[in-house]
Structure 1
Amino acid sequence: MENNLKKVDIIFEVDEKVSPISVLDKTLKRSPDEIILDLIDSGLKGRGGAGFPTGLKWKFARNEDGDTKYVICNADEGEPGTFKDREILDKVPEKIFVGIAICGYVVGAKEGYIYLRGEYNFLLKTLQKKLDIFNNELKQRNFDFNVYLKSGSGAYVCGEESALFESMEGKRGEPRNKPPYPTVAGYNSKPTVINNVETLVYTTMICHIGPEKFKALGTTDSRGSKVFSVSGDTPIPGIYELELGMPLHEFVNEFGDGDAKAIQVGGASGHCVPRKKFNDTIIGFEGIPTGGSMMIFNSTRSMYNVLHDYLEFFTEESCGQCTPCRVGCQQLLKGIEAVKRGERPPAYLEDLKKLTGTMKIAAKCGLGQSVGNPFNSIIDNFREEIIY
């Protein structure tokens, strides 16, 4: 595999100058509370898209009673258009290992796990070799912690944290009811911190460079930088690390082909932003948050086909456990097909939009709850392409 890191900016450039294990050595000399305070001060939010403050998550898990706790790295990167974690896992896995170990030290866990996407099994052999070396280094330091690998089976829904726990426990990958939340009862019903690949790399970096340098990047609500997977109608597809808070029109000027009419921010479950809103949209938690996928569509693309592909994907990947998602995805797909064929009037699209509202309230997990993001944003901005 060729290195697809087209730019090495900000965090990654600094990080390459130091051995990850030396960051761990330095960090273990500090108290868990000091580390938590630094993470909170840094403003780091989860890089999976939800944006929960990382320091608070670790604090909640640390404050839970019990001798058995877990740290899990969610490497089930299944969102269409997202491929950044694959390269991080392939090129700099030690930074992930260190982030997991630091979290284990902070919350009082003895075991950490990397849940690897089933389609990334080609990375297993190399990751295991590097993980064996890392675990041996922990043993030499008398640090009672081990990191293990677990492989998924390719289900998109297992990217949802509670479905991931079910899969790890050998059960069918289905989301659980919440509460309780993972920091109270996660893997094996024990307090669990689950962070994605990128978040754990940034925790390692914050422990190295300090919170001040990290939060000097980005904006008040979106501190630091983020790794983006850029694809679609762009002359320079690839993986780029950029500051959060970047105006979307600047992104388009940097990566577009001069004819961009829409950008899907956040993968299939994200929002589709039309050209007329490029100047008013910020890439960040105060604007449109994203797990990292940025798909650019130019004027040659049919937005009906784009939406149809998304709905086929959601229909296929729904676990089927809850009716709003299982039936809702099917009805949305059949609905736009019926409108396109002229079997339903254009006004029927409004009924379908109401259905996405019901799904957002009643679906059990983020899969069904987020279908309305691409559906409504494409319907609202490209209605004529859906109808005619």
Structure 2
Amino acid sequence: MTVAPEIHDVSPEKLLAPVLSAFWDEPRSWTLETYLRHEGYEGARKAFAMQPDEVIAYVKDSGLRGRGGAGFPTGMKWQFIPQGDGKPHYLVVNADESEPGTCKDIPLLFANPHSLVEGMLIASYAIRCNHAFIYLRGETVPVLRRLHEAVREAYAAGYLGRNILGSGLDLDITVHAGAGAYICGEETALLDSLEGRRGQPRLRPPFPAVAGLYACPTVVNNVESIASVPAILNRGKEWFRSMGSEKSPGFTLYSLSGHVASPGQYEAPLGITLRQLLGMSGGMRPGHTLKFWTPGGSSTPLLTDEHLDVPLDYEAVGAAGSMLGTKALQCFDETTCVVRAVTRWTEFYAHESCGKCTPCREGTYWLVQLLRDIEAGKGRMADLDKLADIADNINGKSFCALGDGAASPIFSSLQYFRAEYEQHVKGKGCPFDPAASTAWADGPNSAGVTA
């Protein structure tokens, strides 16, 4: 039996860093009036006092890394845009938040949309862009309305349109609602969808920085990445680098969900640990202990209670065998069946596969068939190796990262909880359902599951 480590009380004031979420709880936090009271558009004014290339260098020096999953340096991505090529340049904000467990961009847009609008203003100035797009997950109609209103307010106040704040920059923003396809979170599939075609990933090269939207140089950034830029310009890159670690500086939003006492958004410097976040949020639900968790949504390899003290930054989580991803911390207690959870995730990936490449299209289908049999007690011991084999044939061999994401929970759950898979096979059913199996008559602890 593994006992969950003790969680100590932690003062939120010492660990949290509310920047994007600083005034979410204020009445009408989404309005331009409220945003201006909190130094809104001051970062844009400071950016306009610099040359575009200086803005790119400033963001690059700040160390801001993409908050959408891969953690690629934001300033470096802007730097890839060729200058003097005679083509229009585009900025596209990926607001198609679809990763299971991820819920940071939608609350941000709902409560503080002007942080994104100002960030787009600064980024567009830096990359010489005159038309920017927000690709929003279409089911979030209230957020769509908030964004439209924020853009309208920005036009009316002179923060969008012609010769903005006397900078010489002309910028229009188009808010586009997608149709709810997970694959459109992949940047090239998003671009195809934005152009009116079926959302499927493109072959690269050419990369979007060279031939993106309408075959022109394009930057695609996550909502949180762009929304973080105004604070960096306004308060300084040294202030930003004073938080987090050397290679993963700054603040970010952690989405804590699952079997926890107080789920929600926790904005803190990179490098905070799950133990500290649980300490601030009241820990796991009363009477239960942590069994496994995801550091960045279901497409990142799951971790266990052994990893409670892993700093939640890109390097440390990678060294622990997972990915920080979107910082979607889904926490599951000892009542959760790992096989059932992984099966549900895999069903999602099979359903959302665009079907363009064979490894993902066929592999996710067969993973689902095997997992359903194992969960129902119809599996064989050989199926466990077959699961790993199919996942290996998907991982790194599919057209985009959806296949890798589908393989991650398979590999990691077999690594940490293979005994639980075996119990499903030997007991002819799920050991968490006493009516379906007698193999765990002595309780789940007898099979080595975290308690």
TM-score band by shorter chain is over 0.9
- TM, length-normalised to structure 2: 0.80
> Counterpart of 2:400?
365
- For residue 230 of structure 2, what is the amino acid of its counterpart? T
- For residue 266 of structure 2, what is the amino acid of its counterpart? Y
The answer as to whether partners of 1:169 and 1:188 remain within 8 angstroms in 2 is yes
Q: Secondary structure at the match of 2:335?
A: coil
Say yes or no: does 1:20 pair with 2:40.
yes
Task: Provide Cα deviations, 1:253-299, integer angstroms capped at 9, x if missing partner.
Answer: 444315111111211111211112334x3311102212121111011
CA distance in structure 2 between the partners assigned to 1:345 and 1:254 by the alignment: 43
CA distance in structure 1 between the partners assigned to 2:355 and 2:142 by the alignment: 29
Note the C-alpha offset of 1:64.
6.9
CA distance in structure 2 between the partners assigned to 1:100 and 1:117 by the alignment: 18
CA distance in structure 2 between the partners assigned to 1:121 and 1:355 by the alignment: 38
Task: Provide Cα deviations, 1:22-78, integer angstroms capped at 9, x if missing partner.
Answer: 321221111112211211111111001101100111111154723301001110001
Task: Give 5+ residue unaligned stretches, structure 2.
Answer: 1-11, 24-34, 318-323, 425-451
Note the C-alpha offset of 1:344.
4.1
> Counterpart of 2:140?
120
Note the C-alpha offset of 1:225.
1.4
> Counterpart of 1:382?
417
Say yes or no: does 1:220 pair with 2:249.
no
Say yes or no: does 1:210 pair with 2:236.
yes
The answer as to whether partners of 1:48 and 1:196 remain within 8 angstroms in 2 is yes
Could you say which structure has the larger radius of gyration?
A: 2
Note the C-alpha offset of 1:386.
2.4
> Counterpart of 1:55?
75
Judged with a 3 Å threshold, the aligned counterparts in structure 2 of structure 1 residues 312 and 125 are, in CA distance, closer, same or farther, namely same
Judged with a 3 Å threshold, the aligned counterparts in structure 2 of structure 1 residues 225 and 261 are, in CA distance, closer, same or farther, namely same
Judged with a 3 Å threshold, the aligned counterparts in structure 2 of structure 1 residues 218 and 305 are, in CA distance, closer, same or farther, namely same
Q: Secondary structure at the match of 1:319?
A: coil
Task: Provide Cα deviations, 1:354-388, integer angstroms capped at 9, x if missing partner.
Answer: 32222122100111122121111112111232232
User: Aligned runs of 1:124-143 on 2, under 5 Å?
Assistant: 124-136=144-156, 137=158, 138=160, 139=162, 141=165, 143=169
Deviates more, 1:103-112 or 1:123-132: 123-132
Task: Give 5+ residue unaligned stretches, structure 1.
Answer: 1-5
CA distance in structure 1 between the partners assigned to 2:142 and 2:276 by the alignment: 36
- For residue 309 of structure 1, what is the amino acid of its counterpart? R
> Counterpart of 2:298?
268
Question: Sequence identity of aligned pairs in percent?
Answer: 34
CA distance in structure 2 between the partners assigned to 1:211 and 1:354 by the alignment: 46
The structure where helix makes up a greater share of residues is 1
- For residue 188 of structure 1, what is the amino acid of its counterpart? Y
Query: 2:175 is matched with which residue: 130, 134, 149?
Result: 149
The answer as to whether partners of 2:256 and 2:329 remain within 8 angstroms in 1 is yes
Deviates more, 1:24-33 or 1:144-153: 24-33
Note the C-alpha offset of 1:327.
0.6
Note the C-alpha offset of 1:18.
3.4
Query: 2:311 is matched with which residue: 270, 276, 282?
Result: 282
Q: Secondary structure at the match of 1:229?
A: strand
The answer as to whether partners of 2:20 and 2:115 remain within 8 angstroms in 1 is no
Say yes or no: does 1:9 pair with 2:39.
no
Q: Secondary structure at the match of 2:140?
A: helix
Note the C-alpha offset of 1:301.
1.0
Deviates more, 1:373-382 or 1:307-316: 373-382
Deviates more, 1:146-155 or 1:36-45: 36-45
> Counterpart of 1:32?
52
Judged with a 3 Å threshold, the aligned counterparts in structure 2 of structure 1 residues 27 and 62 are, in CA distance, closer, same or farther, namely farther
Judged with a 3 Å threshold, the aligned counterparts in structure 2 of structure 1 residues 312 and 298 are, in CA distance, closer, same or farther, namely same
> Counterpart of 1:87?
107
Q: Secondary structure at the match of 2:129?
A: coil
The answer as to whether partners of 1:109 and 1:145 remain within 8 angstroms in 2 is yes
Say yes or no: does 1:70 pair with 2:99.
no
Say yes or no: does 1:42 pair with 2:71.
no
Say yes or no: does 1:292 pair with 2:327.
yes
The answer as to whether partners of 1:222 and 1:284 remain within 8 angstroms in 2 is yes
CA distance in structure 2 between the partners assigned to 1:228 and 1:290 by the alignment: 11
User: Aligned runs of 1:109-258 on 2, under 5 Å?
Assistant: 109-136=129-156, 137=158, 138=160, 139=162, 141=165, 143-255=169-281, 256-257=283-284
> Counterpart of 1:3?
none
- For residue 272 of structure 1, what is the amino acid of its counterpart? L
Note the C-alpha offset of 1:120.
1.2
Note the C-alpha offset of 1:305.
1.1
CA distance in structure 2 between the partners assigned to 1:152 and 1:43 by the alignment: 31
Q: Secondary structure at the match of 1:193?
A: strand
CA distance in structure 2 between the partners assigned to 1:111 and 1:151 by the alignment: 17
The answer as to whether partners of 2:91 and 2:133 remain within 8 angstroms in 1 is yes
CA distance in structure 2 between the partners assigned to 1:282 and 1:66 by the alignment: 45
The answer as to whether partners of 1:71 and 1:111 remain within 8 angstroms in 2 is yes
The answer as to whether partners of 2:41 and 2:230 remain within 8 angstroms in 1 is no
Task: Provide Cα deviations, 1:98-152, integer angstroms capped at 9, x if missing partner.
Answer: 1111111111111001101011122222321220221341336353111110110
- TM, length-normalised to structure 1: 0.93
Q: Secondary structure at the match of 2:329?
A: strand
The answer as to whether partners of 2:299 and 2:409 remain within 8 angstroms in 1 is yes
